[in-house]
Amino acid sequence: MTATLETPAPIQHAGEEASNDIRRRLAEVEPHCIRTFTPSLAVLAKSAGSYHWTPEGRKLADFSSGVLVMNLGHNPTRWWRRVKDYLGLHDLKNAGEFLEAVTLNAYNAITEVETLATERLVALVQKQPGGSRCEQVLWAASGSEAIQKALWAALNRRPGQDVILSSRHGFHGKKGLAGAVTGCETDHDRDPRVKFISFPREECISVSRRQQPLDIALYEAELHRQWDEHRSRICALITEPYLGGGGSFHPQHEYLQLLQRFCREHDILFILDEVQANFGRTGSLFAFTEYGVEPDIVVLGKGLGNGVAVSAAVGRADVFGNMHYGEGSDTWSANPLASAAVLATLDEYETTDVLDRARRLSRTIERGLLKLCELPAVAHVRGEGVVWGVECRAVGELSAEDVARACVETCYRGDEQGRAIHLLGPLAGKVIRVSPPLVMPPEEAQLYLDVMYRLFARVG
C-alpha cells in the first residue's frame, strides 16, 4: 500500500477571518501540491497597478508581479480595452444571448487575431540585436510547454541527434522534457538524453562580482569534453539568461557568449529560455540583446500576456519545419484570447515608455536592496533590471532557510502603519525574489524598500 503524506494544516493568520475562511474552504477541495509553498499564502480580493488588497481590505505592495508575469502592472485599463477591442467585444451592454465576436477557441482553424499576433511578435523579435534567427512562432499555454516544443523541434532536426545539454540548477518547468532539463543530474532519475554542464554560480555570488571578467577556461574545457563524448549526437544546448528558480544567479555575459560560440562551431541549436526574463525584466526588451547573444530559438512567456496564459518558442523556420502536422499542436496554443493579450502587450511596449520606467525603477531597487546587506539576516544581493534575489544567512539558532521564511512572513504582516509587502516563498530555500511590476513608481518602491529594511532588521 502506498504511504499517504500527512496533509499540512491550512495556513492561518491572526486578524484575517475572511481570508482564513477562504483558505480553509479551498484546502478541503484542492490538494496543496497545486501551489508552491509560500508562508503568507495571501488571499487576494482585487489588484491594481503594483498593489493587492486582501478580503479584509489590507493593502499589499506587490514585489513579485504574480511570478514575473504582471510587467505592465495589474489590470491596466488601456491594456484591457485593447484586449476587448482585439476580441471584438465593443458593446456588451446591448448584446443579446450570444455575442458576434472572435471565437475563444479556434483549434484546427485560423483567426486573424492569431495571425496578427504572430506576425507582430516575429517582427518585434527580429528587429532586436540578436533576433535575426527568430522567423516563426510555436505557441503554447505555459513556459514549460513552450520549452518542450522547442526541444521537440531540436530532436526532430536530424536523425540520431538525441543528446541535449543543459546548464545545471536552471528551471525550465516540471513537465516532460522541460522537467528533464531542469535542476541537475543528481536530483532524481533523469532522461538519459540530457547531459548537464556547469553554470557560474560561485563567480556571480554578488552584484559586484557579476561585473568582474569570467575565466571561461573551465567551462570551455567542459564543453569540449561533452563534444568528445557525444559529438554529432548533440542536438541542442539550453540555458537561461540568469538562474531564476535556481537562486537568482546572473552570470557574466561571456558565459552565454561562450555557449553560443560552442553551438555555432558544432552546428548545435542554441536555445535561450527567457520565460522569466523577457519584456524588460533585465533592462532590455529581451535578455539576449542585454547579453550579446543570438539564439536559434528563444522561449518567451509570463510577461508576454501580462496575466493571460500564453508562451511562445520563437525560432528558425528550418528547425520548426522538420515537425509534421500535429507534432506541435495542443488545445490552447494561439487561442484568440491569448493572442489578443499578446497584441495588447506589444501595443503597450511599442507606444509607451515602459522600458524607460523600468530602468529608472531598477536603479532605486538596486540601491535599496544593497542597503539590506547591512543587516545580519542578509548575506548577498544579486540581480539586474527589475529582477533581484536577496540571499539570507543564518542568524542565531535560525537557519538561512528559516530566516528567509521569517522575512517573507514579517513583510506580509507589515509595519505599524499597515504598510505590507507581498513576496513569494524563498527560491532555493533561502533566496527571496524581488520583482515588482516594471511600472511601479520609484518613489513608491523606495517607500516599501525602507519598510522592508526595517522589517528584515527584526528577524533573528
pLDDT in tens, 105-152: 989 899 999 999 999 999 999 999 999 999 999 999 999 999 999 999
What are 36-79's pLDDT values in tens digits? 899 999 999 999 999 999 999 999 999 999 999 999 999 999 99
Instruction: For residues 217 and 307, state if they share a domain.
Output: yes
Q: Is the pLDDT at 7 greater than 90, yes or no?
A: no
How far is it, in rounded angstroms, from Cα 341 to Cα 114? 10
Q: Which domain holds residue 329?
A: 112-351
Q: Is the pLDDT at 1 greater than 60, yes or no?
A: no
CATH number of the CATH domain containing 447: 3.90.1150.10
Buried b (16+ CB within 10 A) or exposed e, 370-385: bebeebebbbbbbbbb
Model pLDDT, residue 431: 97
Is residue 92 situated within a structural domain? no
Instruction: For residues 291 and 376, state if they share a domain.
Output: no
Region 225-251 average pLDDT: 96
Is residue 100 situated within a structural domain? no
| Average pLDDT of every residue of the chain | 94
Model pLDDT, residue 213: 85
pLDDT band of residue 90 (cuts 50, 70, 90) is: confident
Instruction: For residues 275 and 332, state if they share a domain.
Output: yes
Angle at 225 between CA 209 and CA 166, to 5 degrees: 60
Nearest to 157 by CA among 22, 319, 296: 319
Model pLDDT, residue 3: 59
Region 12-30 average pLDDT: 96
Model pLDDT, residue 222: 97
Find all residues with CB under 8 Å of 333, minimum gap 6, and list them. 138, 139, 140, 141, 145
pLDDT band of residue 95 (cuts 50, 70, 90) is: confident
Secondary structure in 3-state letters for the chain: CCCCCCCCCCCCCCCCHHHHHHHHHHHHHCCHHHCCCCCCCCCCCEEEECEEECCCCCEEEECCHHHHCCCCCECCHHHHHHHHHHHCCCCCCCCCCCCCCCCCCCCCCCCHHHHHHHHHHHHHHHCCCCCCCCCEEEEECCHHHHHHHHHHHHHCCCCCCCEEEEECCECCCCCHHHHHCCECCCCCCCCCCEEEECCCCHHHCCHHHHCCCCCCHHHHHHHHHHHHHHHHHEEEEEECCCECCCCCECCCHHHHHHHHHHHHHHCCEEEEECCCCCCCCCCCCCHHHHHCCCCCEEEECHHHCCCCCCEEEEECHHHHCCCCCCCCCCCCCCCHHHHHHHHHHHHHHHHCCHHHHHHHHHHHHHHHHHHHHHCCCEEEEEEECCEEEEEECCECCECHHHHHHHHHHHHHHCCCCCCEEECCCCECCCEEEECCCCCCCHHHHHHHHHHHHHHHCCCC
How far is it, in rounded angstroms, from Cα 60 to Cα 58? 7
Instruction: For residues 223 and 317, state if they share a domain.
Output: yes
Angle at 425 between CA 76 and CA 383, to 5 degrees: 70
Instruction: For residues 276 and 215, state if they share a domain.
Output: yes
Q: Is the pLDDT at 211 greater than 70, yes or no?
A: no
Model pLDDT, residue 427: 86
Instruction: For residues 257 and 329, state if they share a domain.
Output: yes
Q: Find out whether 235 and 157 touch, Cβ atoms under 8 Å.
A: yes
Instruction: For residues 295 and 215, state if they share a domain.
Output: yes
Instruction: For residues 135 and 203, state if they share a domain.
Output: yes
Is residue 264 situated within a structural domain? yes
Instruction: For residues 160 and 303, state if they share a domain.
Output: yes
Model pLDDT, residue 238: 98
> Which amino acid, 267?
D
Model pLDDT, residue 288: 98
Region 265-293 average pLDDT: 97
Q: Find out whether 57 and 418 touch, Cβ atoms under 8 Å.
A: no
How far is it, in rounded angstroms, from Cα 288 to Cα 280? 11
Q: Is the pLDDT at 208 greater than 80, yes or no?
A: no
How far is it, in rounded angstroms, from Cα 6 to Cα 12? 18
Q: Find out whether 56 and 413 touch, Cβ atoms under 8 Å.
A: no
Domain total in the chain: 2
C-alpha cell at 79: 491594456
Region 440-460 average pLDDT: 96
Q: Is the pLDDT at 209 greater than 80, yes or no?
A: no
| Residue where a domain stops, chosen among 351, 368, 388 | 351
Find all residues with CB under 8 Å of 140, minimum gap 6, and list them. 146, 148, 149, 301, 310, 311, 312, 313, 330, 333
Instruction: For residues 184 and 35, state if they share a domain.
Output: no
Instruction: For residues 347 and 380, state if they share a domain.
Output: no
Half-sphere exposure (Cβ direction) of 135: Cα atoms closer than 13 Å? 8
Q: Is the pLDDT at 336 greater than 80, yes or no?
A: yes
Is residue 105 situated within a structural domain? no
Q: Is the pLDDT at 6 greater than 80, yes or no?
A: no
Is residue 93 situated within a structural domain? no
Instruction: For residues 139 and 288, state if they share a domain.
Output: yes
> Which amino acid, 324?
H
Region 441-453 average pLDDT: 98
| Residue where a domain stops, chosen among 351, 376, 398 | 351
Single pTM value for the model: 0.95
Is residue 277 situated within a structural domain? yes
Q: Is the pLDDT at 205 greater than 70, yes or no?
A: no
How far is it, in rounded angstroms, from Cα 226 to Cα 228? 5
Model pLDDT, residue 203: 78
Nearest to 440 by CA among 384, 363, 358: 358
pLDDT band of residue 2 (cuts 50, 70, 90) is: low
| Residue where a domain stops, chosen among 319, 351, 383 | 351
Is residue 412 situated within a structural domain? yes
Model pLDDT, residue 268: 98
Model pLDDT, residue 420: 98
What are 146-173's pLDDT values in tens digits? 999 999 999 999 999 999 999 999 999 9
Half-sphere exposure (Cβ direction) of 186: Cα atoms closer than 13 Å? 3
What are 301-311's pLDDT values in tens digits? 999 999 999 99
Q: Is the pLDDT at 4 greater than 70, yes or no?
A: no
Q: Find out whether 259 and 364 touch, Cβ atoms under 8 Å.
A: no
Region 327-346 average pLDDT: 96
What are 411-424's pLDDT values in tens digits? 999 999 999 999 99
Region 344-367 average pLDDT: 97
Beta strands at 431-434 and 269-273: parallel, antiparallel or unpaired = unpaired
Is residue 297 situated within a structural domain? yes
Model pLDDT, residue 239: 98
Length in residues, the chain: 460
Of the chain, the percentage scoring pLDDT greater than 70 comes to 97
Region 372-385 average pLDDT: 96
